A and B are shown apart, each in its own frame.
Chain A
């Protein structure tokens, strides 16, 4: 962790250390991990040489969770204890999950009323974050075997159209799995990186990404190493799964058993439909039987059955073009991503809409993980990034509730991130000391049609006459697409107390609790592992600070230097015999006392054009 990653002009080049960083595609149906290990980025295999890990988790009483192909097979016999397509559950409430699949085999624990769905399994209550973490752990272990050592950082991909709650929960799952997240990267952007990084391609690229359970379209402009997303659109509840469902409904209808299926039969039928769908991507027609029934399905019938799903994908392409103010003729290439784009119905629809043959040179199942692996290499410092830049956007508008349950947009969709926007509010009653704000995400005009992200209570506003208080609320979306909100009363310069209540899923406390309990339950092996991680972090931090002080010691004042030295000494003495928690706490302390120094160093090194100017600007914008 070189402090602020600034190369020292004229300094000795650092030894070429290869950091272990990976890209992870946490998919609805399958997940993958990719890394370079020094050479080109490739997906990593398990002990049997398999790259795709089915995103299925089977929970058993008093035994470890089974993840992958074995779990997928177990779903037929033990549907209520086997979680499939957990990605479709992330960031959603129980009622939304039921609305999206009325045949869900899981038993939900209704006593948890925080909106997050908790599934009762043989191994206890599991929510989507815990299930996702179980998948991530398997990928982490695989990567650590392949790369022969502990991971230093990961880039995890998410659908571009994931909302804030879905992103927060993905990140929470990664922390729960003991992974350090360098960045959440949008899947279509990752695919564009895999295609475009080493080529001299310029122009406008459409990435059409139809995965197992989610759909994204992104339009990027590629120019001299800069990947700028112009617009993105999608549907986080549309994917290959839906094609399976349509097909299995048709089979059930034809076999006249639609009313009598149990969970197990339903899953079996879904697997059959999935096989038939794959076969139809190769053969013009497929003969199949289910129970006593047998019949034939051909490409034309399949196209008819899935017409409305295909239309939805094309309609999204139309909207993305419109948002970017571009026409079909201005698109230079189309990249297909996701296993579901192997279906001829999709390929044909895409080629005919864009009047151009799409590219699928890189395995559509692997391309996202490969792109994420490339970005992980760049972010951790393995790969020079002098002219490489990803500029992504927020997929959904962010707004607040105003009078009459209307939404006032604060940050419109397709705004380049990171972005900060401030909005001023005032009190409407004399002596008013509190105010509540409701943050929503979505494009519709009515609050009830958008997704509720959080409710904020502003407290301790100094009592004044109505309209005199000026409360500035700053919305900050970071490079992971995650939102934070800060509030401040301007006329008295006092910070209003802010309380965040996420409307869906887990709040920070709940995640912290899960982390704590996972540490408590950890085996000796786990503890020694987390000690090693903490020691690694601490050593890197100390080294980085030492080289930073050597290079820019003149930026340190005496008092600051003393405080930093003391913190370093405390950390160093805890290194040999401290617990991981102690070491973490001391690292945090050191980060804290050296923070101003780090910021000054950064300002010094960001170039003349920005210096002074931006210090000023940044101080005015947030967190002052």
Chain B
């Protein structure tokens, strides 16, 4: 009964590309989840329940991978046999590193109370703009089969995401959640 393993795109009946119809992804995910979710097997023997938990967890993981732009990019690279774990100096441009350092410093210098919130908001908008343009670049590079360039853009996206996470936690600290 062993069949060729499908990748996540095939699983959700989508074509293998960075640009994705997220609504369709959600719909197909729901359809599959309707079949395997543990709620379907709440009344089944132990092994059936356990299987449902495993299958449903796997679907959630696959969905999570495709839903997030960053994880999707990493996944697409790995499908094309590009190792994203290995980062070399040449993957990151000097300009980007410099920019990162400056942004980090600017973040650290902000006041610790909620007066910093509007500034953080601006930072965020700025990073999101940069990210959108990198995502476009990634999609193009991938489509052209330029994996080295796609990999470099991916690492830049990673940096920007890290920065976004820092801005977020900076906001949360100031909002006292």
Contacts and interface: CB of A to CB of B under 8 A. Distances in A.
Interface of A: 1-5, 153, 182-183, 223-224, 226, 228, 315, 318-319, 322, 375, 378-381, 385-387, 389-391, 415-421, 476, 478-479, 541, 591, 594-596, 598-600, 602-603, 606-607, 609-618, 621-623
B11 A609 contact: yes
Contacts of A607: 32, 35
Given A4-B44, A613-B11, 10 more contacts: A153-B43, A182-B43, A183-B42, A380-B43, A478-B38, A596-B47, A598-B44, A603-B51, A609-B13, A610-B35
Given A378-B39, A606-B35, A1 B45 contact: yes
Interface stretch (B55-63, B98-106, B138-146): B55-63
A418 B57 contact: yes
Interface stretch (B2-10, B76-84, B113-121, B154-162): B2-10
Interface in B30-56: 30, 32-48, 50-56
Q: Main SS of the interface on chain B?
A: helix
A616 B2 contact: yes
Interface in B1-30: 1-6, 11, 13, 26, 30
Given A479-B39, A607-B35, A609-B11, A3 B175 contact: no
**Max chain B Cβ within 10 angstroms of own Cβ: one of A421, A603, A607, A609:** A609
B166 to A, nearest CB: 13
Contacts of A615: 1-2
Contacts of A386: 34
Contact of B38 (A315, A418, A421, A614): A418
A416 B42 contact: no
Contacts of B55: 606, 610, 614, 617-618
A318 B175 contact: yes
A157 to B, nearest CB: 15
Contact of B60 (A153, A380, A381, A418): A418
B34 A387 contact: yes
B5 A390 contact: no
21 contacts: A1-B43, A1-B44, A1-B45, A315-B177, A379-B43, A389-B33, A416-B64, A418-B53, A476-B57, A478-B53, A479-B37, A479-B39, A595-B47, A596-B47, A600-B1, A602-B52, A606-B36, A607-B35, A612-B1, A617-B55, A621-B57
Interface residues of B, number: 44
Contacts of A599: 47-48, 51
Contact of A602 (B42, B51, B63): B51
A3 B45 contact: yes
Contacts of A415: 60, 64
Contacts of A182: 42-43
B30 to A, nearest CB: 5
A538 to B, nearest CB: 12
Contacts of B53: 418, 476, 478-479
A391 B34 CA distance: 10
A591 B57 contact: no
Contacts of A416: 60, 63-64
Nearest to A600: B1
A612 B4 contact: yes
Given A5-B40, A609-B11, A616 B5 contact: yes
Nearest to A379: B42
A603 B52 CA distance: 10
A390 B39 CA distance: 8
B53 to A, nearest CB: 5
B54 A420 contact: yes
Given A387-B34, A389-B34, A614-B58, A591 B46 contact: yes
Contacts of B48: 3-4, 598-599, 602
Given A478-B38, A479-B37, A613-B6, A621 B1 contact: no
